[in-house]
Amino acid sequence: MAVHKIGVLTSGGDASGMNAALRAVVRSGLDHGLEVWAIHEGYRGLIEGGDKVRALGWSDVGGIIHRGGTIIGSARSEEFRTRDGRLKAARSMLLNGIDGLVVIGGDGSLTGADLFRREWPDLLGELASAGIVDAATAARHPRLTVVGLVGSIDNDAAGTDMTIGADTALHRITEAIDAIGSTASSHRRAFIIEVMGRHCGYLALMGALATGADALFIPECPPGDADWESGLVAALNAGRAAGRRDSIVVVAEGATDRQGVPITSERLRQALGAGLGEAVRVTVLGHVQRGGAPSAFDRNLGTLMGCAAIDTLLSGDADERSLVMGIRGNRVVRIPLEECVADSRQVNECLAARQFDRALELRGTSFNDSLRTFNTLVKALPHPPRPGQRRLRLGVLHAGAAAPGMNAAVRAAVRLATDDGHVVLGVRRGFPGLVAGDVAEMDWMSVNGWAPTGGAELGTSRDTPAGPDFYAIARTIEQHALDGLLLIGGWEAYAGAHRLFEERANFPAFNLPVMCLPATIDNNLPGTELSIGADTALNNIVSAVDKIKQAAAAEQRCYVVEVMGRRCGYLAMMSGLATGAERVYLHEDGVTLNALVKDLEMLVEGFRTGKRLGLMIRNERANDVYDTPFMCALFEEEGGRLFDVRQSILGHLQQGGDPSPFDRVQATRLARLGIRRLAGQAAAGQMSAEFIGMVSGSVAFGSFEDYPRLIDAVNRRPRQQWWMGLRSINETLARPAPRNGRPPDAGDLSSS
Ligand code: ATP
State if residue 76 touches ligand 1 by the CB under 6 angstroms criterion: yes
State if residue 75 touches ligand 1 by the CB under 6 angstroms criterion: no
- Triad 299, 303, 304: Cα angle to 5°: 120
Would you say 524 and 712 are in contact if contact means Cβ atoms under 8 Å apart? no
pLDDT of residue 334: 97
- Tell me what the mean pLDDT of segment 334-338 comes to: 95
Residue 742: pLDDT above 60?
Answer: no
pLDDT of residue 743: 35
- Tell me what the mean pLDDT of segment 114-120 comes to: 96
State if residue 12 touches ligand 1 by the CB under 6 angstroms criterion: yes
pLDDT in tens, 256-303: 999 999 999 999 999 998 888 888 999 999 999 988 899 999 999 999
- Tell me what the mean pLDDT of segment 230-252 comes to: 92
pLDDT of residue 752: 57
- Tell me what the mean pLDDT of segment 152-170 comes to: 96
- CB atoms < 10 A from the CB of 433, how many? 23
CA diameter of the chain: 91
Residue 663: pLDDT above 90?
Answer: yes
Question: Considering only CA atoms, which of 343, 357, 689 is closest in space to residue 496?
Answer: 689
Could you tell which of 9, 10, 11 is best to mutate to test the pocket of ligand 1, judged by most ligand atoms within 8 Å of the CB?
Answer: 11
Q: How confident is the model at residue 739 (pLDDT cuts 50, 70, 90)?
A: low
Would you say 202 and 155 are in contact if contact means Cβ atoms under 8 Å apart? yes
Q: How confident is the model at residue 748 (pLDDT cuts 50, 70, 90)?
A: very low
Residue 746: pLDDT above 70?
Answer: no
Would you say 7 and 45 are in contact if contact means Cβ atoms under 8 Å apart? no
Mean pLDDT of the chain: 94
6 DSSP β-pair partners: 36, 100
Residue 509: pLDDT above 50?
Answer: yes
Cα 145 to ligand 1 centroid, rounded to whole Å = 19
Could you tell which of 18, 76, 156, 340 is best to mutate to test the pocket of ligand 1, judged by most ligand atoms within 8 Å of the CB?
Answer: 76
- Tell me what the mean pLDDT of segment 444-458 comes to: 95
pLDDT of residue 240: 87
pLDDT in tens, 714-733: 999 999 999 999 999 998 99
State if residue 11 touches ligand 1 by the CB under 6 angstroms criterion: yes
- What are the Cα distances from residue 613, in Å, to 68, 439, 552, 578, 738? 21, 53, 6, 16, 17
442 DSSP β-pair partners: 424
Cα 144 to ligand 1 centroid, rounded to whole Å = 19
> Could you give the CA distance from residue 376 to residue 353 in angstroms, rounded to a whole number?
28
Active-site residue, 154 included? yes
> Can you spell out the DSSP letters for 163-227?
-BTHHHHHHHHHHHHHHHHHHHHHHT-EEEEEE--TT--HHHHHHHHHHT-SEEEBTTB--SSTT
Residue 627: pLDDT above 60?
Answer: yes
Residue nearest (by alpha carbon) to ligand 1 atom 16: 109
